[in-house]
Amino acid sequence: MLKALAVMTSGGDSPGMNAAVRAVVRRALDYGIQVYGIRFGYEGLVTGGDQIVPLQWKDVGGILQKGGTFLGTARSDRFRTPEGRRQATLHLLEREIEALVVIGGDGSLSGAHLLAREWSEHVEGLGRSSPAGEVHPLQVIGLPGSIDNDLHGTDMSIGADTALNHIVRAMDDLSSTAASHQRTFVLETMGRHCGYLALTAALAGGASWVLVPEEELELRWHQKMVAALDHAREIGRTHQMVVVAEGARHPDGLFINSNEIRKLLVDRLGIDVRVTVLGHVQRGGSPTAFDRVLATRLGVAAVDTLMQGPEGVHCHMVGLVRNTVVKTPLSEVVEKSRAVGMEIENGDYARALSLRGGSFRNALDLVKTLTRISPAQETRDDGIVVILTAGADAPGMNTAVSVAARCLLNEGIRTYASPDGFLGLIRGNLQPLDWHQLVGWVNRPGSEIGTARYEFREGDLERIAGTVETNRVRAIVAIGGWGTYRRAAQLAESQDRLPALRIPVVLIPATIDNNLPCTEYSIGTDTALNNIVEAVDKIRHTAGASRRAFLVEVMGRRSGFLALMGALASGAEKAYLPELGIRLSELNQDLEHLRTSFRQGKRLVILLRNEHSSARYTTDFIRSLFEEESEGAFQVRTAILGHIQRGGIPTAFDRILASRMGAGAAGSILESLERGSARCTVVGLSGRGIREFPLEEALEQMEMGEGRPKRQWYMDLVEMAQALAKYGPSRSSSS
């Protein structure tokens, strides 16, 4: 039985490290394990003394939303020596620490792997082996903490999403000033051996060109770039952005300097070009909701891995692969993570790109497609494709429209919008989509072509068939939520009766509720979740010295995704979900918990309630109940976030997801038109990729009466959220 473990953050800091430490500490304490925090990484481990401190439940309260790492981090030359690692071993043995959780990048995880490998040697050298000469191995678990997202064994590392959003917000800000002065900006991002940040920022920010370390450039690459930017200017794009990773290289292996690019564009095109190097601003600030949830899931998994297999020797990293937590041997993580950099240094870019994996290569291909396409010189005169956004608006809809339409226009297919969703088809009001407008839609909130909730009435299907026939509509791309799916199903069911409707229809999931089948995330969900988390963070700032319980009502309809993930990301003590319902006995337990917590010194408690978690126990009812029965121990306030959740500029995650889905939908339409197919399909995020599913399959996965999928992956996280949000551990720690 594991009795004590230590947790540390090492190397460069990344947003979300605090969330990971919090999860490790609280999960371990809940198991009854003594927990130590090591200050300033390996340097603190070598120093020992007051740099290794016991951590209790309250010590990690209030750190979830803070950037950086409260434990501190530092580089350690002493740990690189055998003598330094022996000192580190001594300090762990003195406190009977049997396991070490290290949060950091490849250098930090490499150090953990080396210490674990040398452990027996150091223990014997210190004379600390058992009388029988036995040495208990050091259990080591690594967590990927790096904004570069350059670690093998995980699709995302802690901090990468936050850094990406910093870059994309900077691109949005630069775009406005670029438009005012008709300037071109060269934006340099971090990433010496990994182009993830530059690549995904270019995709999310609508850049005109991107340069990354993994891609081998042609000898005259700069001529292609200049020609592409010049062509974009000719077709009306007066301001542009070139994104370059700091590790991008010339064909001869020398680094590309951002000022070189500026001078090249000024000399060749005679345009006004400015350089912006973002630097360390990329790794600062409060972590995004995605990074908080990722860090929490991985922190809990680290402790669970140690506890579920205590008899074995653990020397692994836990990461997120295809939305599932997996463990990978540290030796493999270190070897394959460093292999990419070595291949780049050796000039084998094809091998480096191969090691990055399929999702990286797909993203690079998509960026190349979007930066190189332009309106076809000749348009086909065999009909049009219609794009519509229906139901409630969701952040990222415009991105999906923009990418799908440009991909189709690039193939010479005339593309029109149906204003206000299906109403445009019913009224015969179709409007051509203009390439120059579409380019600027990538970062816009809401839906530029309009959206509306609408139930078909008698004669509507016949009117749509008339519009389709009159305008020679060859296919439809419909972007929206569950109502949009049901309208599309009605169109498909009417094909035998109305032959004009025998056309391909592709559905793109866009709803903040994240309640759709065949996709793990819907467009708009991430933005809404971040809006919720930002609101709860602000509520925490109002706590002061008062004793208050805040009951925050969030959207989601019959899906508890926003409430549950919002609670995980904000540290809320409770999430009331429609999947679980609310019982009076549960409310009584929560009430008693509130009384106890506030009497023990708690100043603020946050409770999240999904809008449809109960028809009877409403937000006002729960507030009244808690306030009446508080016995003067605390006050109760409510906050109904309402439509603020669906507002604002879409996050990088939503833009990238919308870009991938929009391109996937356009590809599906082109394939159906070529084959003469009239299939009705749904695109969705499954694992690492965008997949296409028959609409019938999607409908079968829904609980029709509840309006949510039968299988909801996020419900597996309920126990985790409940365990971490308590005021203290269930079991006493061994301290």
pLDDT in tens, 377-399: 788 888 999 999 999 999 999 99
- The more confidently predicted of residues 309 and 370 is 370
Distance of CA 172 to the CA centre of its chain: 19
> Would you say residue 735 has pLDDT above 50?
no
Contact 466, 430 (CB under 8 A): no
> Would you say residue 238 has pLDDT above 80?
no
Q: What is the pLDDT of residues 73-91, one digit of tens each?
A: 998 999 999 999 999 999 9
Mean pLDDT of 258-272: 94
Q: Order of strands across the sheet with 324-329?
A: 52-54, 34-38, 4-9, 99-104, 139-144, 315-321, 324-329
Calpha distance 544→239 (Å, rounded): 46
> Strands, DSSP E only, in 437-542?
473-480, 505-509
Q: What is the pTM of this model?
A: 0.95
pLDDT interval class at 236 (50, 70, 90): confident
Mean pLDDT of 309-333: 89
pLDDT of residue 232: 84
Calpha distance 583→586 (Å, rounded): 5
SS3 686: strand
The number of beta carbons lying within 10 Å of the beta carbon of residue 439 is: 18
Q: What is the mean pLDDT of the chain?
A: 93
Contact 548, 635 (CB under 8 A): yes
Mode of pairing for the β-strands spanning 209-211 and 184-189? unpaired
Residue type, 593: H
Q: What backbone torsions phi and psi does residue 37 show, to the nearest 5 degrees?
A: -105, 135
Q: What is the pLDDT of residues 465-486, one digit of tens each?
A: 999 999 999 999 999 999 999 9
**Pair of tokens at residue 197:** 């940040």
pLDDT of residue 453: 93
In whole angstroms, how far apart are CA 351 and each of 210, 221, 363? 20, 20, 17
The number of beta carbons lying within 10 Å of the beta carbon of residue 601 is: 9
The number of beta carbons lying within 10 Å of the beta carbon of residue 422 is: 29
Mean pLDDT of 566-581: 95
Calpha distance 546→549 (Å, rounded): 10
Calpha distance 100→89 (Å, rounded): 11
Share of the chain above pLDDT 70, in %: 97
Non-local (6+) Cβ contacts of 457 within 8 A are: none
Calpha distance 458→315 (Å, rounded): 65
Mean pLDDT of 626-651: 94
Among the listed residues 598, 554, 547, 591, the one whose alpha carbon sits nearest the alpha carbon of residue 576: 554
> Would you say residue 345 has pLDDT above 60?
yes
Least confident of 16-25, 302-311, 420-429, 657-666: 302-311
Contact 631, 596 (CB under 8 A): no
Calpha distance 611→345 (Å, rounded): 54
For every residue of 621-671, which 3-state class applies, written as one string? HHHHHHHHCCCCCCEEEEEECHHHHHCCCCCHHHHHHHHHHHHHHHHHHHH
Q: What is the pLDDT of residues 550-563, one digit of tens each?
A: 999 999 999 999 99
Write out the catalytic residue numbers.
Answer: 148
Q: What is the DSSP string of 214-228?
A: TSPPPTTHHHHHHHH
Mean pLDDT of 228-238: 83
pLDDT of residue 734: 37
Mean pLDDT of 256-260: 95
In whole angstroms, how far apart are CA 727 and each of 541, 600, 630? 19, 9, 17
pLDDT of residue 192: 86
Contact 18, 78 (CB under 8 A): no
pLDDT of residue 376: 81
Residue type, 618: T
Among the listed residues 428, 429, 385, the one whose alpha carbon sits nearest the alpha carbon of residue 406: 385
Calpha distance 197→149 (Å, rounded): 8
> Would you say residue 310 has pLDDT above 80?
no
> Would you say residue 139 has pLDDT above 60?
yes
122, containing H or E segment: helix 106-125
Mean pLDDT of 690-697: 95
pLDDT interval class at 405 (50, 70, 90): very high
Q: What is the pLDDT of residues 190-215, one digit of tens each?
A: 998 899 999 999 999 999 999 999 99
- The more confidently predicted of residues 239 and 342 is 342
The number of beta carbons lying within 10 Å of the beta carbon of residue 73 is: 25
> Would you say residue 493 has pLDDT above 50?
yes
Which one-letter DSSP state was computed for residue 15? T
Contact 594, 626 (CB under 8 A): yes
Share of the chain above pLDDT 90, in %: 82
Contact 645, 456 (CB under 8 A): no
Residue type, 207: A
pLDDT of residue 200: 96
pLDDT interval class at 600 (50, 70, 90): confident
pLDDT of residue 172: 93
Instruction: Tell me the CA end-to-end span of the chain in Å, nearest whole number.
Output: 15
SS3 376: coil
Mean pLDDT of 343-351: 92
Calpha distance 500→474 (Å, rounded): 9
